[in-house]
Amino acid sequence: MEYEVIVGLEVHAELSTATKIYCSCKNSFGSEVNSNCCPICTGMPGTLPSLNKKVVEYAVKMGHALNCKINNVCKMDRKNYFYPDLPKAYQISQFDIPLCENGYVDIILDESGATKRIGVTRIHIEEDAGKLLHDDSFAGSLVDFNRCGVPLIEIVSEPDMRGSKEAKAYLDSIKAILQYIDISDCKMQEGSIRCDINVSVRPVGSDVFGTRVEMKNVNTFSGAVRAIEYEAKRQIEVIENGGTISQETRRWDDLQGQNFLLRSKEDAHDYRYFPEPDLLTIHVPEEEVDAIKKSIPELPNAKILRYMHDYKLPHYDSNLLAENMEKSAFFEQCIEFNKVQPKNISNWILGDISRIFNEKNISFADTKITAKNLVDMIEMVEKSEISNTGAKTVLEEIMFNDISARQVVEEKGLAQISDNSALEALVKEVLASNEKAVNDYKNGKTNVVGFLVGQCMRASKGKGNPAILKEIVVSMIESM
């Protein structure tokens, strides 16, 4: 039988506010163990939380980005459970009235730009817990409270994804949006974005959901793909062998590539949620909601589709450009001139410019490049006024000096020679000194023409127009 794999995701993202959610400790990663905490975030007796308003603002931003309804009035609740990394023995979270709910995100399924709408059930705000430390140098466990009180949003999706590929596309979209609206670092290696995965399977064609299993401890997106595929396979095997799936929570072990039963439904925690009496009802007035909405830029998926549609860029280029706000902004500045092919602009930004950025570990702000200079340069290439090789030299100059593209071409004498008589003389010399290649060509090895054109380019010190050179080379040999 063929099965359909149904996935729902709960993404936890740490918000990049300056301070923690309920105290004024710095919200930073990598401090010395237990150095970035205070009586409040370590839950000392008598201390009280004060809600960081930035957290609400950031979550509302995400709510807008995911097309949610924003609840102007909501509250915080206590989620009670015992664990050594949770110093109050309750997490201040949101239960029945989340800050944002009923939204969606359109994910891009493939290179054709086909999309699918994934429902977002809710987004709520809460605090992160500390970290347990284990080491051979001591018995038992130690607790690092630095992460306690780091603000989180939990984004809960509807079970709208079918299979790991859609789940991955959803996760990529969420991550891109978080980065776009600048509310999370999304540093996987620092655990600033994590997810719990709900998986169920059902025979293709069925319209009732199977029993779902929740998987915890998934810390990377590629791990999520593996976890979903493993769990779907496990469930199908159980069903094929006549068994039934029971509602349970399993722990994903990415190193071993398998999951393990954490607790069955009977052992599920009763969190005894109740409204947090230490914090007031949260009011986000409509004007504030509107103001936050206005601050949301065009989001990555919309941008990708627009680039594909308006500029006929491939999905690959659109995706890479949209992924980086600076690159896409620069791309659009270049487009404004309406002088050169969008694909050529994309090639230069994603090619040589990105390569230089990577090599030197810099970005646009560290260079002197302007959209006008780049467009002028590309225009010269398009009009065969300079060669690609010449353009690379121009690029290096306009990136780091106050100089126009045309000035570089003039000063460095990079203008291509397109004058046939000058080039014919040059080709004649090259052919004379490469008799063997000429003979090869005559004997049918026509691909040596590339070599010969290359030799001509070298002789012209890069200034020859390669297209014209090629024409001359071919016609000269053939008329020999």
Partner 1 sequence: MELYRLTASELSEKIKNKECSSVEATQAIFDRIEKTEDKVNAYISLSKESALKKAQEIDEKIASGETLSDLAGIPVGIKDNIVTKDMLTTCASKMLYNFVPPYNATVMDKLEKCGIVVVGKLNMDEFAMGSSTENSYYKKTKNPNDLTRVPGGSSGGSAAAVSAGEAFLTLGSDTGGSIRQPASYCGVIGLKPTYGSVSRYGLVAFASSLDQIGPIGRSVKDVAMLYSEICGRDDKDATTAVREYPNFAKNLNGSVKGMTIGIPKEYFGDGVDAKVKESVMDAVKVLENAGATVKHISLPSTDYALSAYYIISSAEASSNLARFDGVKYGYRAENYESLTDMYERTRSEGFGDEVKRRIMLGTFVLSSGYYDAYYKRAKLLQQQISAEFAQAFSECDLIITPTAPTSAFKLGENIDDPLKMYASDICTVTVNIAGLPAVSVPCGNDDNGMPIGMQMIGPKFSEQKLLDTAFSYEQLMGGSIVKIAEL
Interacting residues toward partner 1 by CB under 8 A: 39, 42-51, 78, 80, 82, 84, 87-90, 143, 270, 272-274, 277-280
Q: Which is nearer to partner 1, 84 or 257 (CB)?
A: 84
Q: Collect contacts of 277-281 with beta carbons under 8 A, ≥24 apart.
A: 278/48, 278/49, 279/49, 279/50, 279/51, 279/75, 279/76, 279/92, 281/73, 281/74, 281/75
**C-alpha to C-alpha distance for 328 and 305, rounded to whole angstroms:** 13
Shortest distance in whole angstroms from residue 210 CB to partner 1? 24
Query: How far is CA 402 from each of CA 306, 370, 405, rounded to the nearest angstrom?
Result: 33, 10, 10
**C-alpha to C-alpha distance for 161 and 272, rounded to whole angstroms:** 31
Q: At residue 132, what are phi and psi to the nearest 5 degrees?
A: -85, 140
Shortest distance in whole angstroms from residue 343 CB to partner 1? 55
What DSSP string runs through 266-308?
A: GG------EE-TTSPPEE--HHHHHHHHHT----HHHHHHHHH
Q: Which is nearer to partner 1, 76 or 150 (CB)?
A: 76
Tokens of 83: 């664990």
Q: Which is nearer to partner 1, 274 or 316 (CB)?
A: 274
Q: Which is nearer to partner 1, 80 or 370 (CB)?
A: 80
- Strand 77-80 vs strand 69-70: parallel, antiparallel, or unpaired? unpaired
Q: Which is nearer to partner 1, 139 or 208 (CB)?
A: 139
Q: Which is nearer to partner 1, 103 or 151 (CB)?
A: 151
145 SS3 class: coil
> Are residues 193 and 16 in contact, defined by beta-carbon separation less than 8 angstroms?
no
Shortest distance in whole angstroms from residue 275 CB to partner 1? 9
Q: Which is nearer to partner 1, 69 or 272 (CB)?
A: 272
> Are residues 118 and 105 in contact, defined by beta-carbon separation less than 8 angstroms?
yes
Q: Which is nearer to partner 1, 13 or 92 (CB)?
A: 92
Shortest distance in whole angstroms from residue 79 CB to partner 1? 10
Shortest distance in whole angstroms from residue 43 CB to partner 1? 5
**C-alpha to C-alpha distance for 448 and 454, rounded to whole angstroms:** 10
Q: Which is nearer to partner 1, 49 or 464 (CB)?
A: 49
Shortest distance in whole angstroms from residue 264 CB to partner 1? 16
Q: Give the closest residue to 425 by CA, choosing from 460, 463, 452.
A: 460
Q: Give the closest residue to 321 by CA, choosing from 122, 167, 157, 180.
A: 180
Shortest distance in whole angstroms from residue 140 CB to partner 1? 9
Shortest distance in whole angstroms from residue 116 CB to partner 1? 35
184 SS3 class: coil
> Are residues 180 and 325 in contact, defined by beta-carbon separation less than 8 angstroms?
yes
Radius of gyration, alpha carbons of the chain: 30
Shortest distance in whole angstroms from residue 81 CB to partner 1? 9
> Are residues 362 and 391 in contact, defined by beta-carbon separation less than 8 angstroms?
no
**C-alpha to C-alpha distance for 159 and 137, rounded to whole angstroms:** 44
Q: Give the closest residue to 172 by CA, choosing from 329, 320, 378.
A: 320
Shortest distance in whole angstroms from residue 51 CB to partner 1? 7
Q: Which is nearer to partner 1, 282 or 457 (CB)?
A: 282
Shortest distance in whole angstroms from residue 137 CB to partner 1? 20
Q: Which is nearer to partner 1, 88 or 463 (CB)?
A: 88
